[in-house]
Structure 1
């Protein structure tokens, strides 16, 4: 079961895991990854800014990392922009934001009603992701790989203190994800369903097996399947522990 060992070198907190829109008690995709004094918001899906504030203010984040630009993975960047600049937050510097190519332009287009570019860059310092990119953020090392989702999309490997977790983002099963996840301690893998641009629950289990992951957490489960059913189906293809990314769950790595 998920636990809350605060001495763990690496922790994953689920802010939300619903798709493609929030449920009454579960926001869309969003996670907080922490190690020591480092905090990274991974995917800013619809509704995740609210629960994020249980753990960190916007001015306490060391970075934000976005897998792709579908709204239910990045929509709360818009409200974060307002929170960072126009309320009680006083940023010492723009928040580092790692996102797919076009992230800054997409945000600027949403936040303007004229030909003038919106001032979104004053809240975020955008670095565009590329295949094989690595970045060191405080105590965390972030490695990104391009994956197969029919649009620019990336998976993430996070390492700290000799431990590792991998987040699939949204993707069909692909060699890049299995390679990125090789030997990871925890694989957080989507299980949307039968759409060819996503994993099924069974495919999530198969990816975890191919990668030699120590533990599988299924997330982004399509509404045609219950979390319990997704866990059971993934377990038919993976012999290790399988759990669901319940909102509010904290996994130590």
Structure 2
């Protein structure tokens, strides 16, 4: 039995060992769109939002929706290589894959505390994951041998300031500097708990060779323009309002009374193609990549709705990302 367990652990380590793709040369920063579907929907063609920046073999995650760990494997990237995780906001399509990723990392003997950086509530979420998986800590995977440490000791959550009105440094190592700013993804009811606790952020990632800005989820925002100024790559969410309205109209699980408020959120708290184009032009971005495609359904036959009207405003290259694309 001991040999079987040892072989199983060895196989796990092999499967998750760093497998560098040919285009990830040392020193080059590559942005991988692991999941490009917007919203908490289970699709075949598009996984939930997740992105990986790869620099010198190190992986930095920007959002971790459901399926993020599998998408890492599909991209030939290793859990062992993850150096930090950045969560833009606490909607479930952006943090739903966090727990499996963090617990698997612990199981695979990664002991260095992993920075998990995100909005207020990040520490409570990480603490909650550790508590929820206490039963997993206690479930033996070997006969004898050293004991496993607590999951929580392998994690280092950090909470961003509730309000960041100018780009602020939130992380730095030998490969990257990350700056954050609050964006405009929420409308609050006055006096609500959400008005006190819920925040959403965009990130600017600076490497030796290029600068990448990730909008997270946001409506039109002066903060985004400030953050994106002069960037080499603007990775932006996008929504096709006509397609979204059609999807909601045929959604039997959404009460009619809920559709108008939901469409108001879509219109004000997300970015249309024209919004993205104006942002890119004003920020003098060199290139745009569109992700978090909403609705991003499996039966879509064209992505033209996600770029409609952009060419008249922004004259640089625009790409509609698919899962596992590299930029």
User: TM-score, normalised to structure 1's length?
Assistant: 0.87
Q: Does residue 227 of the first structure (1) align with residue 303 of the second (2)? A: yes
Alignment match, 2:109: 90
Choose from 305, 312, 318 the match for 1:242.
318
> Which is greater in Rg?
2
Which segments of 5 or more consecutive residues in structure 2 lack a partner in the other structure?
Answer: 1-21, 138-149, 187-197, 242-265
Task: Give 1:154 deviation, angstroms.
Answer: 0.7
Structure 1: unaligned runs, 5 residues or longer: none
Match of 1:209 in 2: 281
Is the contact between residue 15 and residue 29 of structure 1 (CA under 8 Å) also seen in structure 2?
A: yes
Q: How many positions carry a matched residue from both structures? A: 243
TM-score by length of 2: 0.69
Residue 111 (structure 1) shift: 5.8
Task: Give the 3-state SS of the residue equivalent to 1:179 in structure 2.
Answer: helix
Change in CA separation of 1:241 and 1:46 when aligned onto 2, cut-off 3 Å: same
Look up the match of 2:35. 16
How far off its partner does 1:162 sit?
3.7
Q: Provide the rounded CA distance (Å) in 1 between the counterparts of 2:182 and 2:240.
A: 21
Structure 2: distance between partners of 1:40 and 1:179: 23
Secondary structure of the structure 2 residue equivalent to 1:33: strand
Report the Cα offset of residue 235 of structure 1. 2.8
Stretch moving more, 54-63 or 235-244? 54-63
- Preserved contact between residue 142 and residue 159 of structure 1 (Cα < 8 Å): yes
Quick check: 1:104–1:121 contact (8 Å CA) kept in 2? no
Cα displacement string for residues 179-207 of structure 1 (whole angstroms, at most 9, x for unaligned residues): 10000011001113451111112111111
Residue 126 and residue 110 in structure 1: after superposition, are their counterparts in 2 closer, same or farther (change >3 A)? closer
Contact 2:68 2:101 in 1 (8 A): no
Superposition deviation, residue 233 in structure 1? 3.5
Shift of 1:5: 3.9
Q: In structure 2, which of residues 42, 51, 69 is the aligned counterpart of residue 49 of structure 1?
A: 69
Pair 1:73-2:94 in alignment:
yes
Which of 152, 164, 168 in structure 2 is aligned with 1:133?
A: 168
1:110/1:85 Cα in 2 relative to 1: closer, same or farther (>3 Å)? closer
User: Per the alignment, in what secondary structure is the counterpart of residue 234 of structure 1?
Assistant: coil
- SS, match of residue 185 in structure 2: coil
**Alignment match of 2:271 (pick from 186, 199, 210):** 199
Q: Is 1:163 aligned with 2:210?
A: yes
> CA distance change for structure 1 residues 138 and 39 in 2, over 3 Å: closer, same or farther?
farther
> Partner residue of 1:124?
155
> Are the counterparts in 1 of residues 103 and 151 from structure 2 also a CA contact under 8 Å?
no
* Partner Cα separation in structure 2 for residue 35 and residue 148 of structure 1: 29
- Residue aligning to 1:144: 180
Which residue number corresponds to residue 190 of structure 1? 237
Once the two structures are superposed, residues 92-113 of structure 1 have per-residue CA deviations (whole angstroms, 9 ceiling, x without a partner) of 3121111111112124346646
Query: Does the 8 Å CA contact 1:22/1:47 hold for their aligned counterparts?
Result: no
Q: CA-atom RMSD, angstroms? A: 2.3
- Residues 137-177 of structure 1: CA distance to partner in whole angstroms, max 9, x if unpaired? 33111111111111311101111114101000001111111
